[in-house]
């Protein structure tokens, strides 16, 4: 595993696991899990994703039933880039983002020490956004 990913896992998986515990306590009809896995191994854009995924068991019909806080790495074998967001599943969108001025992973910031420190510092805000989305039970644009 990439050293950048290992470093961030050490910093983020414990708070992600604590967030899962909090979701389980406060929202018994939501199944939450922390995760960390590689992505893109069949491409030249090797990446990694880690975060907290929440499945809302009481979602109705065509409503989105999952919301996730995700930290994503791209281009780990070349110029590593990173971003994070809180996002609902299809067909809805983003609740909160670490950095919002991007259109693709090519626009994400390089995973420098400064950016990673800023990202780690932003996890409480993103965690709060995830909790608010779960509490609301639907995407913010559906209000």
Q: Tell me if residue 2 falls in helix, strand or coil.
A: coil
Task: Say which residues have a Cβ less than 8 Å from residue 126's Cβ, sequence separation at least 6.
Answer: 69, 84, 85, 86, 96, 98
The pTM for the full model equals 0.90
Percent of the chain with pLDDT over 70: 93
Q: State the Cα–Cα distance between residues 32 and 15, nearest whole angstrom.
A: 13
Structure tokens at 42: 């069949």
Q: State the Cα–Cα distance between residues 45 and 92, nearest whole angstrom.
A: 25
Q: Residue 68 pLDDT > 80, yes or no?
A: yes
Query: What pLDDT digit, counting tens, does each position of 16-53 carry?
Result: 999 999 999 999 999 999 999 988 776 667 899 999 99
pLDDT at 44: 66
Q: State the Cα–Cα distance between residues 116 and 84, nearest whole angstrom.
A: 11
Is the separation of the CB atoms in 67 and 88 below 8 Å? yes
Q: Residue 142 pLDDT > 70, yes or no?
A: no
DSSP state of 109: P
DSSP state of 87: E
Nearest to 96 by CA among 142, 35, 139: 139
């Amino acid at each position: 595993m990439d050293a950048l990913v290992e470093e961030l896992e050490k910093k983020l998986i414990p708070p992600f696991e604590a967030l899962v515990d909090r979701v389980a306590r406060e929202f018994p009809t939501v199944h939450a899990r922390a995760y960390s896995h590689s992505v893109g191994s069949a491409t030249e854009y090797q990446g990694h994703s880690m975060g907290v995924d929440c499945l809302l068991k009481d979602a109705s019909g065509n409503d989105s039933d999952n919301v996730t806080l995700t930290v994503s790495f791209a281009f780990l074998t070349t110029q590593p880039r990173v971003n994070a967001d809180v996002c609902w599943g299809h067909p809805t969108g983003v609740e909160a983002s670490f950095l919002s001025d991007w259109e693709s992973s090519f626009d994400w910031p390089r995973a420098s020490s400064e950016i990673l420190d800023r990202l780690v510092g932003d996890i409480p805000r993103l965690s709060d956004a995830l909790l608010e989305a779960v509490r609301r039970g639907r995407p913010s644009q559906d209000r």
